[in-house]
Structure 1
Amino acid sequence: MPIVGDRPAPPVRPADGAPSATEEVPTATAAPAPPEVQELPTTERPAGGRAGRDLRAAIGVGVGLVAVIVASLFVWRPAFLAVLVTAILVAVAELTRALGAGRLGPPLVPLLVGTLAMEGLAWSRGPTGLVVGFLLTALAVLLWRLGHGPAGYLEDAAAGVLVALYVPLLAGFAVLLLVPDDGAVRVLAFIATVVASDVGGYAAGVLFGKHPMAKSISPKKSWEGMVGSVVACMLMATPFLVLWLDAPWWSGLVFGAALAVSATVGDLGSR
C-alpha cells in the first residue's frame, strides 16, 4: 500500500459497478449452441426419374440422331457411311481409353487405321473384304505392340484384338446392310427396331417394373421391361420386313425377339 507521510494512503475505491482489484471478474459463458436443424423431407424427385435417366435429354439426342441418319440414308448413302465410320472411330477410341484405365494398353493407331480399312473393304468388297480387313488389323495390332517391348505384350495385344473384333468388325455388318439396292430400308428397319427396344423397355419398366433382372448389375432393368422391349421390337420389325422387304410375317417376330434379347444382353454386359 503506498505511504503518504507517516500514514498509509487510503485505498482507491473503484467506480460504481466496477470490480475491485481483488474481486474475480466473472468470465462470459458461451451461449449454448442451437440444436441441429434436421433436414426436412423433400418431395423433389431425382432428375433421372424411376428409370435413372434424363428423359428430355434422351429424346432430344434421339430425335437429332434420327434426323441425321434418315437424311444421310435417303439423300446420299455414302454420307451415312461417313457418319457410321465416324461413330465407329469414336467408339474405338473410347473403348481403348477405358481399357487403358484398367492398366491395359491396346495400340490405338493400328486400330483406327484398321477401322477405316475394314469399313472401306466391307463397302467395296462385301463380307470377304470385312474379314480380310479384320485379319490385317489384328496382325497390325500384334506387330505394333511388339515394338514397345515384351512387358505386358500378351495382355495388350489381346485387348487390341478384342477391340477390333468388338467394335469395327461387328459394326461392319451395318455397312454390309447398306450395300444392296434396298440397303437404306434395311438399315432403317434395324435402327427403328433398336429404338423400339429401348422405348418399349423403358415404358414397361417405368409402368410395371417390379422384378429386377440383375440387381447387382443394373437395378433399374426389370423383367417387365424386357417383355415390353420384346413386344415393341416385334411390332416395329414386322411391318418393315413384310411391307418393304417382302419377308414372311413371322420373320418380323423372330427378328424383333432376337434383337431385343441381344440388345438387353449387350446392355448388361457393358455395365
Structure 2
Amino acid sequence: MTHGSSFPPPVPDPSEGEPGAGVVPPGTIPAPLIAVEAGAAPLLPGEVLDGADEPLHVASPAEVPAEARPATRRAQRQERAKTSRAGRDLPVAIGVGLLLLALLLGSMFVVPQLFVVIGAAACAVGCWEVSRALQWHSGVPVPLIPLIFGCLALPFGATYGGPEGLAVAIAASAVLVTLWSVFEGRATAAKSVTLSLLTLAWVPVLASFAFLLFREPNGPMLLLATLLLVVSNDTFGYLFGAWLGKHPMAPKISPKKSWEGFAGSVGGAVVVGVLVCIFMLDVSWWIGVVLAVATVMASTAGDLSESMVKRELGIKDMSNILPGHGGIMDRLDSILFAVPMGYLVSVLAFGTVA
C-alpha cells in the first residue's frame, strides 16, 4: 500500500446506506473514520492512498490496533515542539550541526592537513549519494570508483597545486570517468559517462574552490567568512520567509522559498558581511556588501538546484547519514555554489585593495 498526494477512486460513504452513494474528497476523511484497503493495515487520520484501485472499506476506531492509533494531543504537541517546519528533529539537528561545526573549525585553524582529508571524505560521501540517487532513478550504472578518485585528486590538487593543479586533476578525473564507463562495455555507456561527469562537476569540482580559497593568504578566515554568509543566507531567509513569506520564488521546485525570505537573506547577509570584513578581515566595508550579495545569489541557486534534482528524482533527502539533517549533499547544496563565488570575489576584491 502506497501513500502519496493523489487520492484514489471514489470511496463509499457509509452514511448513505448503499455502495457508491458518496465520495470522500481529498483530505476530508472525517475522524473517527479511517480509509483502509481490504485486509490491510488501517490508515491514520489525514493519510491518503496513492493509485489504489483495489476494494476499500471504511474502518471505525475500534478496528484500529492500539499501536497504530494517533498519539494523544499532549504527545502531538510535544512532538511538534521539537520538530521544525521542515520535519526535522531540532534537538538532534542542532547537536549534529554543532559537532560538524567544531570538526570543521578545528581542522581549519588547528590541523590544516586534516581539513583537506575531511573535505575529500565529504566529497566522496556526496558523490556516493548523488550517484546512488541518479542510478536508482535512471537505471543507468554510475561507477563510484572513478568518482572517488576525483574526490581525492581534486581537493589535494587544488590545495597543493593551486588552479593549475586543480585543472590537471579535473582533466585526469574526467578522462578516468569516461574510460571506465567505456571499458565496461555496457550499452548505456554514453548515459553512464554523462551522469558520472555531472556528479563529478557538481560535487568535487565545485567543492575544490573551497580549497583554492583556503590556500590564499588569510585563507582560513576568508573561507570562514564565506561559510558565515551561507549560514546567514539560510537563517535570515528562514526567519523572514516564515514571518512575511507570501510570494514563492519557484513554487514548482521549492514552495517554501519566498521572495520575502530572499530579501531577508540579502539584508541579513549584507549586515553580517560588513561586520565580517571590518572586524574579521580588516578590509573595506563595501567588499562585505559585494561578497554578501554574491554569496546569497549563489547559495540560493545551489539550494534551488538540489531541490529541483530531488523533486525530479522523487526523494526528500539524498540520504539519512546525518541525523536531523538528511545527507551530506543536503548540507552542502548551498555551500557548493557559494564557495566558487566567494573565491572569485575574494581574489578580485582583495587584489584590488592590495
Q: Does 1:138 align with 2:174?
A: yes
Q: Distance in 1 between matches of 2:147 and 2:132?
A: 12
- SS of match in other structure, 1:202: helix
The answer on whether the counterparts of 1:51 and 1:206 sit within 8 Å (CA) in structure 2 is no
1:57 corresponds to 2:92 = yes
1:89 partnered with 2:83: no
Structure 1: distance between partners of 2:208 and 2:216: 14
Q: In the alignment, what sits opposite 1:235?
A: 271
Of 88-97 and 71-80, more deviation after overlay is shown by: 71-80
What is the Cα deviation at residue 164 of structure 1? 1.2
In the alignment, the residues of structure 2 paired with residue 160 and residue 53 of structure 1 have an alpha-carbon distance, to the nearest angstrom, of 31
Separation in 1, partners of 2:177, 2:31: 61
Equivalent residue number for residue 167 of structure 1: 203
The equivalent of 1:200 in structure 2 is 236
Identify the range of structure 1 (244-253 vs 48-57) with the bigger mean alpha-carbon deviation: 48-57
Measured in 1, the distance between the counterparts of 2:141 and 2:222 equals: 37
Cross-structure match for 1:263:
299
Assess if the C-alpha contact under 8 Å between 2:247 and 2:260 holds in 1: yes
The farther-off stretch of 219-228 and 137-146 is 219-228
Q: 2:155 maps to which residue?
A: 119
The answer to whether the 8 A contact 1:118-1:134 is kept is yes
CA contact (8 A) 2:121 2:151 kept: no
For structure 2, the residue ranges without an aligned partner over 5 or more in a row are 1-29, 34-44, 47-72, 308-354
- May I ask how many residue pairs the two structures share in their alignment? 236
SS at match of 1:210: coil
Distance of aligned partners of 1:81 and 1:153 in 2 relative to their CA distance in 1, 3 Å threshold: same
| Pair 153,73 (structure 1): closer, same or farther in 2 beyond 3 Å | same
TM-score normalised according to structure 2 size: 0.62
Shift, 1:52, TM fit: 4.8
Hey, what does 2:113 align to over in structure 1?
Answer: 78
Distance between the aligned counterparts of 1:189 and 1:131, measured in 2? 25
Do the aligned residues in 1 keep the contact of 2:128 with 2:144 (CA within 8 Å)?
A: yes
How large is the Cα RMSD of the aligned pairs?
2.3
Superposed CA offset, 1:221-263 (max 9, x none):
1111111111121122222223333432112111111111211
Q: Using the alignment, how far apart are the partners of 2:281 and 2:175 within structure 1?
A: 38
SS at match of 2:256: strand
Given the two structures, how large is their TM-score scaled by the length of structure 1?
0.80
Shifted more, 48-57 versus 195-204: the winner is 48-57
Give the Cα–Cα distance (whole angstroms) in 2 for the partners of residues 224 and 54 of structure 1.
Answer: 26
For 1:230, the aligned partner's letter is V
Alignment-derived partner of residue 32 in structure 2 = 38
Q: Secondary structure at the match of 1:106?
A: coil
Assess, with a 3 A threshold, how the Cα gap between structure 1 residues 51 and 124 changes in structure 2: closer, same or farther: same
C-alpha change, 1:228 and 1:53, in structure 2 (3 Å) is farther
Secondary structure of the 2:32 match is coil
Q: Which runs of 5+ in 1 are unaligned?
A: 1-35
Equivalents in 1 of 2:100, 2:264: separation in Å? 23
Q: Secondary structure at the match of 1:147?
A: helix
The 1-side partners of 2:91 and 2:268 are apart by: 21
Q: Partner of 2:192 in structure 1? A: 156
1:175-186 equivalent positions in 2, closer than 5 A? 175-186=211-222
On the 8 A contact 2:116/2:156 being kept in 1, the answer is no
The C-alpha deviation readout for 1:25-48, integer Å capped at 9, x for no partner, is xxxxxxxxxxx9637997956744
Matching residue of 2:334: none
Displacement after TM superposition at 1:49 (Å) = 4.3
Q: Which secondary structure state, in structure 2, belongs to the residue aligned with residue 270 of structure 1?
A: helix
Partners in 2 of 1:235 and 1:160 — Cα distance?
A: 39
The structure with the largest alpha-carbon Rg is 1
